[in-house]
Amino acid sequence: MNMTKKLTGMTALGLSLFASLPVWAQEAAAEATEAVAEAAPEFAAAVDTAFIFNTLLFLIGGFLVFFMAAGFAMLEAGLVRSKNVTMQLTKNIALFSIAGIAFWLIGYNLMYPGDAWTITGYVGTIFSPKDIGGDADLATGYSAGSDFFFQLMFCAATASIVSGTLAERIKLWPFLIFTVVLTGVIYPIEASWQWGGGWLSEAGFSDFAGSTLVHAAGGFAALAGAVILGPRLGKYGKDGKVNPMPGSNLGLATLGTFILWMGWFGFNGGSQLALGTAADANAVSVIFVNTNMAASAGAVMAMILTQVIYKKVDLTMVLNGALAGLVSITAGPLDPTIFGAIWIGAIGGVIVVFAVPMLDKLKIDDVVGAIPVHLIAGFWGTMAVPFYTEGTSFVMQFVGFASIGIFVTVASAIVWIVLKSTMGLRPSQEDEMLGLDKAELGLEAYPEFAKG
């Protein structure tokens, strides 16, 4: 029996003390520690356990948020007219793919600049992508790759929001180039202010999973685009009449909403960022419940309101009500009681029902209702945080929301204007009337189904 080996757990100080003991006392102590040593393999597993749980949360959360890309694609494909469905599908799979590459190449570094909070520092990080493929670093508490995977999905979600608003009237390539800038530069910079340890987080702004950072940001980018792009041909008559352009496939739209709802469990739950303790597991559970409750409340509220106001329940409002409930709870899904989650989500549903026609009055053409759902409900969710979360303030929440809003809107507007004045944003009127599928892609989504 090698006594020294058995006692490797002891400190140097302890060892010298130990050496001064008589032999038989050393033996007694050695015997005692043997039990520990024999349990060593289990100790090794336990050392890793929290790391594995944390990583697993990012991976499960990540694939759920990944699936939101499919949710956005189905929602948008269902809410555009059939002549633009192929284009909408193309934009959605393309924007997700582009986001992956742009976020890796530029965005991830911008978002976590470490000490490089200067212009030079920012520039220095560009095109020097972090290596996330190294060995497991137990000290960080989770796998670097799992964090990258999870963060990427949030970046891509931001871009997905934009595509819905601008549907049916923007050419493919300018949209994709905008996506490169949004996912590679604009989102990572504003996200770094909070999640990268930047000035907003230091100032006390609170946005748990991104009501502002993801949803409102996507909404602002969409809003800037919608204003610069203008509405679809024929959407707003000269007499002020709003012409409804109903979605072509509400089955897909509903499927998309359910997929987004499911993905949101990963979106909000994964944003706990840890699963390695019972307290974390409990927190993730509370987040799942609150997230679900807010969505339910948003949907029910939209259902009741459309019944009361229009005497008919409007499915698209119910779908957007659920989504607005989800966006509303995203800034603070952990702290509210269930009742809190319900009323926060319900107000999200109210927002949708009133904001959708309001945008039409402003002649801002938002094809899928993304601005009410993501921007306005995102504002509401951000402002609702101080009701339940200690250490937050309405003022600071407003400052955070406004700062990100101004930055994203201005940056997006510049990119949209540059694209408009160079390659142009809109197809010709003939192409738009014909539909982008035939005009730009030469491929119809439903080539065999006669148009009624």
Interface residue with a second copy, options 97, 201, 389, 409 (CB under 8 A): 97
The region of 30-38, 198-206, 228-236, 355-363 touching a second copy under the rule CB under 8 A is: 30-38
d(CA 444, CA 81): 11
Of 212 and 268, CB closest to a second copy: 268
What does DSSP assign to residue 242?
B
d(CA 253, CA 261): 12
Of 149 and 236, CB closest to a second copy: 149
Interface residue with a second copy, options 4, 118, 128, 282 (CB under 8 A): 282
Task: Identify residues 154-183 at the interface with a second copy (CB under 8 A).
Answer: 172-173
Task: Identify residues 181-240 at the interface with a second copy (CB under 8 A).
Answer: none
Tokens of 355: 């904001």
Q: How does DSSP assign 33-97, residue by residue?
A: HHHHHHTHHHHHHHHHHHHHHHHHHHHHHHHHHHHHHHHHHHHHHHHS-GGGHHHHHHHHHHHHH
Interface residue with a second copy, options 207, 314, 360, 365 (CB under 8 A): 314
Q: Is position 398 an interface residue for a second copy (rule: CB under 8 A)?
A: no
Interface residue with a second copy, options 128, 243, 277, 428 (CB under 8 A): 277
Q: Is position 428 an interface residue for a second copy (rule: CB under 8 A)?
A: no
d(CA 184, CA 265): 25
Q: Could you tell me if residue 353 is left (phi over 0), alpha (psi between -120 and 50 degrees) or otherwise beta? A: alpha
271 CB-near residues (< 8 Å, 6+ apart): 61, 208, 209, 210, 287, 333
Q: Is position 13 an interface residue for a second copy (rule: CB under 8 A)?
A: yes
What sign results for the dihedral spanned by CA atoms 142, 143, 145, 146? negative
Q: Is position 118 an interface residue for a second copy (rule: CB under 8 A)?
A: no
What b/e sequence results for 245-276 when a residue is b if at least 16 CB atoms lie within 10 Å of its CB, and e otherwise? eebbbeebbbbbbebbbebbbbbbbbbbbbbb
Interface residue with a second copy, options 96, 175, 343, 380 (CB under 8 A): 96
Q: Is position 258 an interface residue for a second copy (rule: CB under 8 A)?
A: yes
Interface residue with a second copy, options 177, 255, 383, 413 (CB under 8 A): 255
Q: Is position 312 an interface residue for a second copy (rule: CB under 8 A)?
A: yes
Residue showing tokens 């730009």: 440
Binding residues for a second copy, rule CB under 8 A, total 151
Interface residue with a second copy, options 125, 143, 194, 212 (CB under 8 A): 143
The region of 197-205, 207-215, 333-341, 413-421 touching a second copy under the rule CB under 8 A is: 333-341
d(CA 121, CA 118): 5
Task: Identify residues 337-376 at the interface with a second copy (CB under 8 A).
Answer: 337-339, 342
